[in-house]
Amino acid sequence: MTEFIRKRVKNVKNDVFSGITVALALVPEAVAFAFVAGVDPLVGLYAAFMVGLVTSIFGGRPGMISGATGALAVVMVSLVSKGNAMGNPDENLGLYYLFTTVILMGFIQICAGVFKLGKFVRLIPHPVMMGFVNGLAIVIFLSQLGMFKTTVAGEKVWLSGNSLWYMIGLVLLTMLIMWGLPKIKATKKLPEALIGILVVTGIVIFSNLDVATVGSFIKDGGGDGLKGGLPSLHLETFSKIPMNLETLKFIFPYALILAAIGLIESLMTLNLIDDLTETRGNSNKECVAQGSANILTGLFGGMGGCAMIGQSIINIKGGGRGRLSGITAAVMLLIFIVFASSYIEQVPIAALVGVMFMVVIGTFAWSSFRILNKIPRTDVFVLILVSGLTVIFDLAIAVLAGVVVSALVFSWENAKRIRARKRFKADGTKIYEIWGPLFFGSISAFNEKFDIKNDPQQVEIDFVEARISDHSAIEAIFALVEKYQAEGKSIVLKHLSEDCKVLLYKSSPIFSKVIEESIEDPRYHLAANPEDFPKPLSEYKF
């Protein structure tokens, strides 16, 4: 009992410290993505709090962190812009269209969970997963480069002189602390990311260094600061925009795209966390939780969100494994907004950039370079394709393209595996033994195996090692039977599995006359009734 309690207390400590670290890292990310979407920073921060809290409590993957993400923000910017154009400039209709879209997005995600569509994430091949994490690591790295810019006369320019050197030095110091702290035995259990942020923040404050902080970052983007109150219910959303078919036509495509991107990113992050922790999450439960969180955040004035791979990895690397880590991150974020905004605004951006750079190093699948010459070239192509498309476009397009290419390659390879072994019985009957999958891709090769005009009067097609997979296969067999019968020849289909026979019987009554039900060859008896063998098997001669 004492050991059980000790382990639980240890987990609580890890979850809490890791959650605080994640909360600090969430602040500039949520603010930055809000700016990308064209909305107030508090809209992004409220989304990070509400989505993070709901998914941490009810989601299917403990330890995974959710919040406002860049993948969603790049889609939202078009929605907000077009929504603003539908009214007067001071009406800010784009924001209310965004809230409505996020609510609809949530309902779509809940439907995906209810209908158990989350299981289809299993169809994502490993090269697509590797391409996803590599591409996302590159995206995170590139997004952090923007932190090395400052606003001069309304334009973003690269840092130079002492400002640049201070930034680089503090980033490297943060990374060095995160790298070196776990290697020291006495400090092995300390949260290295949080220690790195606190040390660098202390250096900046006590040395009075002129560097970018969270507060200056928000003000450079046009925000007034981090200070805010508790999120409130935005019922005026439904009075600001017309609730009619025209509105639905406008927001539904955006809601569908956002729901798809959110679920793909969340479920792939779930799979990644499963691999890192060697545990198993519930994808359908996560879909419902993500949808519920987005409905709530839309009602309370947030921009919606999904799982965040960078913050999730920070949490896992920091020892956060339970739901408490995500709850702590969300609650601490709200505390920052309501009570501690002045302190959080003093945290240097360099410290947070250093943390994210370490996330990039931990996220990138460096093993992909080692295996490039050891895996099929098609898998190499898929890996590079998904990585590139993730950087150039977005995650949804990259994963969809990777799955499609992988599926086409798989279909092509299996289409070439159809075989037909030909032999004759003593009475002159010609037998075709079919080997391989019979589906749309292998139909042409299947048809080429038969010589209808020159075959004898009696023909048997033996599906000993073949399966009928789809409608194309059914139609091919139906056409083959008709051709033999048109030539006045007898054709018999043998050794079809029960599910294949059901498909053929349902498709046409012609098959009831050509399928042979009885099995004479003993090699097809996979199992036998024990009553048929009253003596021990060793006494029989087979």
pLDDT, tens digit, 9 for 90 and up, residues 373-407: 899 999 999 999 999 998 888 777 888 899 999 99
Burial class (CB in 10 A: 0-12, 13-18, 19+), 86: middle
User: 444 and 307, same structural domain?
Assistant: no
Residues 189 and 312 in one domain: yes
Q: Are residues 348 and 433 in the same domain?
A: no
Contact 407, 423 (CB under 8 A): no
Is residue 136 included in any domain, yes or no? no
HEC secondary structure over 305-371: CEECHHHHHHHHHCCCCCHHHHHHHHHHHHHHHHCCHHHHCCCEHHHHHHHHHHHHHHHCCCHHHHH
In a shared domain, residues 177 and 46: yes
C-alpha 284/C-alpha 282 separation (Å) is: 6
Residue 35: both structure tokens together: 């700016």
Do the domain assignments include residue 138?
Answer: no
Q: Do residue 360 and residue 423 come from a single domain? A: no
What was the pLDDT predicted at 390? 84
Co-location of 359 and 477 in the same domain: no
In a domain, 331, yes or no: yes
What pLDDT sits at residue 356?
A: 82
Q: So what's the pLDDT on residue 28? A: 78
Same-domain check for residues 234 and 93? yes
The pTM score is: 0.74
The owner of tokens 């000993």 is: 464
Residue 457 sits in a domain whose CATH number is 3.30.750.24
Its domain, for residue 434, covers 419-515
Any residues with CB less than 8 A from the CB of 113 and at least 6 apart, and which?
A: 284, 285, 286, 287, 288, 289, 290, 291
Q: Are residues 350 and 455 in the same domain?
A: no
Give yes or no: residues 82 and 214 share one domain.
yes
343 and 207 together in one domain? yes
Per the structure, the count of domains in the chain is: 2
**pLDDT the model gives residue 195:** 87
Rg (CA), the chain: 31
Does residue 140 belong to any structural domain of this protein?
Answer: no
Domain-located, residue 283: yes
Half-sphere exposure of 230 (CA within 13 A, CB side): 3
Q: What is the pLDDT of residue 15?
A: 93
Residue 485 lies in a domain: yes
Phi and psi torsions of 518, nearest 5°: -75, 145
CA distance linking residue 9 with residue 2, whole number of Å: 11
Domain assignment of residue 537, yes or no: no
Of 365, 386, 402, the one marking the end of a domain is 365
Q: What pLDDT is recorded for position 188?
A: 65
Residue ranges in the chain whose pLDDT is less than 70: 1-10, 186-190, 221-223, 518-542
Answer yes or no: do 443 and 354 share one domain: no
Give yes or no for a contact between 167 and 212, defined as CB atoms under 8 angstroms apart: yes
Tell me how crowded residue 127 is: count the other CB atoms within 10 A of its CB: 25
Pair (200, 313) in one structural domain = yes
32 part of a folded domain: yes
Find the DSSP H helices in 487-534: 498-507
